[in-house]
């Protein structure tokens, strides 16, 4: 119980920096999406596919969050997008202070949509706002259709959900209807996409949603 | 910086309970495996496959860790194994106190190998010992072969690693040789398995390893 006051101070400090991030983003006309998913759900691949689908309509920037390495940022940079890599060390989620430092490194006047790839983790990122306008969760077919039972907080606390790797539906048992039903018991108003960064399925729908968000 | 003394107290308290867990397990001749993996890596399926492969050689018990629900425990119970479900609420990992309570509910004298399925998370479980004798990480082919770059702490801090869902290698690009090379740069002595809970590939190897551990 000694822990609670300290945790509250940390959360309050994070909220304050997140609010400053939000004001900075708004001042530059940038709409930020906090992307939350398990490791290997296909966050980076989906970012690249959506950014390509937005070409000529919206200018995309990216923040990559990982414990270590810049392999994701390298992929994004190779696609010609402005990107900043955050390494959390051992940290299990991004926090607003890390994003604040990243924002200072990005050309915000050249970005309409900022895609923030959080650390691969279905639990911890949910509790830390970064200053984002919208939260997008990604789940992937190989993870199984029972995930809403086991990780309810993430599904309950996002605006939209992309079920990725739907090209693999033919290779494994997965009940998409039951998955969506479970998700909607937790979050009736959620926007739900079925996508594949590999086949391109649903990518235009996701891109069109981002265009509408930033109309 | 105010956070550090509190975190140290929490870790010390956890270590003390973990030590008591370990003594209890040893007194009953139970070897405990802490299984750490991302959501959807196939932990429960692999537990069921390995338990079936151990039938007649070792008696298996299971602790299931999830934020919510008992869907995993139901599957394990249906297979006839003694099981206890821990729900962490919002917690991103199991701790020693939760495992202590679970041990009090299990028939320890009827268990040789206790498989503890941690919360699906590649980061937080690494920092909390539970009293286990051995740590097994599971990674799965659809997660991609770059995970050691991005989540090095888990690969560096386990005794063994099972690459699961190798039946999917024909459907997606994945460099197993490069994956194992990356893992061994972090952990040269790691025991490495290639398995599929779906096809049965490698399951006997994993079962034989558990038999040797408990010889």
* Per-residue model confidence as pLDDT tens digits over B120-142: 999 999 999 999 999 999 999 99
Mutation test of the interface with chain A: which of B122, B150, B151, B166, choosing the one with the most A Cβ atoms within 10 A? Answer: B150
Q: What is the pLDDT of residue A5?
A: 76
Contacts of B203 (CB under 8 A, 6+ apart): B46, B49, B50, B53, B195, B196, B197
Contacts of B93 (CB under 8 A, 6+ apart): B65, B118, B119, B121, B124, B125, B127, B128
Q: What is the pLDDT of residue A86?
A: 98
**Which residues of chain B does A9 touch, with a Cβ-Cβ cutoff of 8 Å?**
2
**Which residues of chain B does A146 touch, with a Cβ-Cβ cutoff of 8 Å?**
71
Contact residues, chain B to chain A, C-beta under 8 Å: 2-3, 6, 9-10, 38-40, 66-69, 71-72, 90-92, 119-124, 127, 140, 142-144, 146-147, 149-153, 165, 168, 171-172, 198
Distance, in Å, from the CA atom of A188 to the CA atom of A196, rounded to the nearest integer, reads: 23
pLDDT digit string, tens, across residues A157-183: 999 999 999 999 999 999 999 999 999
For residue B187, pLDDT beyond 70 = yes
User: Minimal Cα–Cα distance from A132 to chain B, Å?
Assistant: 22
Whether complex ipTM tops 0.90:
yes
User: Minimal Cα–Cα distance from A91 to chain B, Å?
Assistant: 8
Q: What is the pLDDT of residue A7?
A: 80
Mean pLDDT of chain B: 96
pLDDT digit string, tens, across residues A109-135: 999 999 999 999 999 999 999 999 999
Note whether A123 contacts B69, CB cutoff 8 Å: no
Query: Which three-class secondary structure string do you get for A60-122?
Result: EEEEEEECCCCHHHHHHHHCCCCEEEEECCCCCCCCHHHHHHHHCCCCHHHCCEEEEECCCCC
pLDDT band at B2 (very low <50, low <70, confident <90, very high): very low
- Smallest Cβ–Cβ distance between B67 and the set A6, A150, A172 belongs to A150
Q: What is the pLDDT of residue A2?
A: 46
Secondary structure (DSSP) of chain B? -THHHHHHHHHHHHHHHHHHHHHHHHHTT-EEEEEEE-TTS-HHHHHHHHHHHTTTT--EEEEEEESS--HHHHHHHHTT--EEEEE-TT-SS--HHHHHHHHTTS-GGG-SEEEEE--S-SSGGGG---S-SEEEEEEEGGG-TTHHHH-HHHHHT-SEEEEE-GGGGGGS---HHHHHHHHHHH-TT-EEEE--TTT-TTHHHHHHHHHHHT-
For residue B5, pLDDT beyond 90 = no
Distance, in Å, from the CA atom of B148 to the CA atom of B155, rounded to the nearest integer, reads: 7
Mean pLDDT of chain A: 96
- Smallest Cβ–Cβ distance between A38 and the set B9, B39, B124 belongs to B39
- Smallest Cβ–Cβ distance between B39 and the set A69, A119, A143 belongs to A143
For the segment B136-152, the average pLDDT, to the nearest whole number, is 98
For residue A18, pLDDT beyond 50 = yes
Backbone angles phi, psi at A58, to 5 degrees: -140, 145
């Amino acid at each position: 119980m000694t822990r609670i006051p300290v945790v509250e101070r940390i959360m309050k400090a994070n909220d304050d920096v997140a609010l400053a991030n939000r004001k900075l983003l708004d001042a530059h006309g940038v709409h930020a999406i906090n992307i939350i998913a398990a490791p290997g759900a296909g966050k980076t691949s989906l970012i690249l596919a959506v950014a390509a689908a937005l070409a000529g309509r919206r200018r995309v920037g990216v923040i990559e969050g990982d414990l270590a390495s810049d392999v994701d940022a390298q992929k994004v940079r190779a696609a010609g997008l402005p990107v900043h890599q955050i390494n959390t060390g051992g940290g299990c989620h991004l926090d607003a202070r890390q994003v604040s430092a990243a924002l200072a490194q990005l050309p915000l006047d050249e970005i309409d949509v900022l895609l923030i790839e959080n650390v691969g983790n279905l639990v911890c990122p949910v509790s830390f706002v970064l200053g984002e306008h919208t939260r997008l969760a990604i789940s992937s077919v190989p993870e199984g259709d029972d995930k809403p039972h086991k990780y309810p907080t993430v599904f309950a606390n996002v605006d939209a959900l992309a079920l990725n790797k739907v090209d693999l539906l033919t290779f494994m048992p997965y009940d998409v209807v039951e998955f969506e039903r479970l998700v909607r018991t937790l979050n009736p108003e959620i926007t739900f996409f079925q996508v594949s960064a590999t086949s391109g399925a649903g990518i235009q729908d996701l891109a069109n949603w981002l265009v509408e968000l930033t109309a």
